Amino acid sequence: MFAWLYFLIRLLIWVILWPLRALRKAPGYVVVDLKPGMPLLDPVRRGWRRYVSGPRKLSMWRLNDRLSRLSRRSEVRGVLVLLRPGDFGAVQAESIHSALAAFQQTGREVVVWTKGLDLRRLAIASAATRLVLAPGGSVGPLGMHRDMLYFGEALTGLGIELDVVQSGPHKSAYEPLTASAPSAEVSEMLGWLFDGIFGATCTLIAKGRGVNEATVHEWVDEGLMTDERALERGVVDALAGEAETIHALSEGAKRPPRLTPLDRVEGLFTPPPQRPGRPGVAVLRVEGAIVDGVSRRPPVGLPVRGLAQRCGDLTLIAQCRQLAKAKRVKAVVLFIDSPGGSASASEAMAEALGELAANKPLIAVMGSTAASGGYYVATAARKVVASQTTLTGSIGVIMAKVVNAGLLARLNVNSHAVARGEQAGMFTSSQPFSDAERALLTAHMERTYSVFVDRVAAARAMTPEVVDGFGRGRVWTGAQAVDRGLVDAIGGFAEAVDMARALTSLPSDAPLLEPSGSRDTWRPPGAHPDAPGPSSFGAAMQWLSDGAGWVSSPKPLALSQVIWRPRGE
């Protein structure tokens, strides 16, 4: 009832404001202020937050949608992109480049103005018809560099060590905490990841700037360029300040074009509200570490594994059962941006997603990372889509426990254990695994790994032997995963949504639907979970408690190698 009342109010407002929108002139140019930290998708807003929350931070999905809408207005001549300094990820750069290039292909102008360029920002800016650099600005260093820190010797000096059991030499999530340098296998893997990401980025730049890749490599090897050198080498098209660039947009025109920020043109393209109950495509999210239990978001973003956003199997299972029963949901897009986590939670999620996929088409799309447990849950999908630079794969399992006996001895702290049962102290922190315990854990992990491999083999129509050759912890880029049959196609969220709509013959404007959350996360198959209440201080404390327990839990993890973002490109 409330949904219909809200729809009627919105429809009435839309009708009242329609004459004003019709009389309002469309801008000649729309200004897009691009800043680092753009999310791939809009954040979830449920319940009352949908109606009272402030403006959303610009996401790549929203940017792509708004540029697509702008391209349908003949009055819009182009966009002016203000590309701000900062660290853009490889997938973010690829997605923004794609959106700008698609807009340019409609015959509109894309002008990019920036104070400086590194490799990722040049990949974004290369989609421009005119790339302008501020006087005194710089280009470079162009390239990829990463300083890898290894704490094994430092922790050993403190009397702390990690006892690790893993399914293969490439499954190296804990290697920075146990070694003083990367192993030969990890060095090889980092090499092919760097090659894949660097190659894909250079290809974007070469295509956008209209040069061959050899020229781009020359730009990279030249290092740091002054503004004049960048202009001379053809990296940029012009040198001008922000105001001068804006004035140049009116050259050849009878009057200066109207410039309007992107967030102020929403009213020009607002379609009539959609009636409640209209069939559409649901979006399921697996974001952050995969854990046993419920999904939780931190009060603030923390770049610490286990203490950042977490996706719980109980929450996802409840949502899967909700969507399976929802009549208006005709297909589901599974968005994955996760380095993995609990192996048992990944298996539970994959099973629930498989049940959902048996009833409705399920398309998986990968964000920046869909590795290990993040790849595990994608096996239920009919099709898997990834960006060229998505980190994916890492089919494998790893387990570790902290051994603090040396530290306690340094502090003159004595430990005395009382136990019943031969292996009751297997996970104690006072001593490493014994040979018998290690043999038991290895057998347990090999069984977990074989379940993972069998699931991938069944999903990708491969033999377990072939999957094992791509597994044992190996991480691939999206393009490399396509070559190995682990991913079906290169694309982003928009392509996955279009694929889901096509499979169910839904129109191109069919709505995207979000499942509700749930207080009671255990529900029998087919039951609807309840909507969640507002977050509270108690919920935040529970998030901290769960995170601490997850980090310290010695259990099999479908966890990828430490996910990194190269700096200094």
For the chain, 569 residues long, give each residue's pLDDT as a single digit of tens.
Answer: 566 676 677 667 766 665 665 555 667 889 999 988 888 888 775 544 454 444 567 889 889 988 988 888 888 889 999 999 988 999 999 999 999 999 999 999 999 999 999 999 999 999 999 999 999 999 989 999 888 899 999 999 999 998 898 888 898 888 999 999 999 999 999 999 999 999 999 999 999 999 999 999 999 999 899 999 999 999 999 999 998 998 888 765 566 677 888 887 766 666 666 666 789 999 999 999 999 988 887 655 555 544 568 899 999 999 999 999 999 999 999 999 999 999 999 999 999 999 999 999 999 999 999 999 999 999 999 999 999 999 999 999 988 889 998 888 888 898 888 888 888 888 888 889 999 999 999 999 899 999 999 999 999 999 999 999 999 999 999 999 999 999 999 999 999 999 999 999 999 888 888 887 554 444 444 443 433 333 444 445 454 555 555 444 556 666 665 444 443 33
Q: What's the token pair of residue 73?
A: 């207005």
Nearest to 135 by CA among 232, 236, 224, 239: 239
Distances (CA, A) of 195 to 278, 480, 503, 511, 529: 46, 10, 35, 39, 45
- Report the alpha-carbon distance of residue 416 to residue 430 in Å, rounded: 9
Tell which phi-psi region holds residue 47, choosing left (phi > 0), alpha (psi between -120 and 50) or beta. Answer: left
Longest dimension (CA), the chain: 90
> Mutual orientation of helices 343-359 and 313-325 as an angle, nearest 10°?
0
Q: What's the token pair of residue 82?
A: 């203000």
Compute the radius of gyration of the chain from its Cα atoms: 26
What DSSP character marks residue 421?
S
H helices then E strands: how many in the chain? 20, 21
Domain 280-398+434-534 falls under CATH 3.90.226.10 = yes
- Report the alpha-carbon distance of residue 186 to residue 179 in Å, rounded: 12
| Cβ–Cβ < 8 Å for 233, 222 | yes
- Report the alpha-carbon distance of residue 280 to residue 283 in Å, rounded: 10
**Residue 201: count of CB within 10 angstroms of its CB:** 27
In this prediction, residue 37 carries a pLDDT of 84
Q: Where in the chain is the domain with CATH 3.90.226.10?
A: 26-44+58-142+190-269, 280-398+434-534
| Cβ–Cβ < 8 Å for 471, 307 | no
With DSSP H G I counted as helix, E B as strand and the rest as coil, what are the percentages for the chain, rounded to 5? 40, 20, 40
What DSSP character marks residue 462?
-
> Mutual orientation of helices 60-70 and 493-503 as an angle, nearest 10°?
70
- Report the alpha-carbon distance of residue 130 to residue 441 in Å, rounded: 59
Distances (CA, A) of 346 to 219, 302, 311, 530, 543: 43, 22, 10, 23, 19
What are the residues facing 329 on neighbouring strands? 280
Tell which phi-psi region holds residue 408, choosing left (phi > 0), alpha (psi between -120 and 50) or beta. Answer: alpha
Classify domain 26-44+58-142+190-269 at the CATH topology level: 2-enoyl-CoA Hydratase; Chain A, domain 1 (3.90.226)
| Cβ–Cβ < 8 Å for 523, 529 | yes
What DSSP character marks residue 377?
G
For strands 340-342 and 557-559, give the pairing.
antiparallel
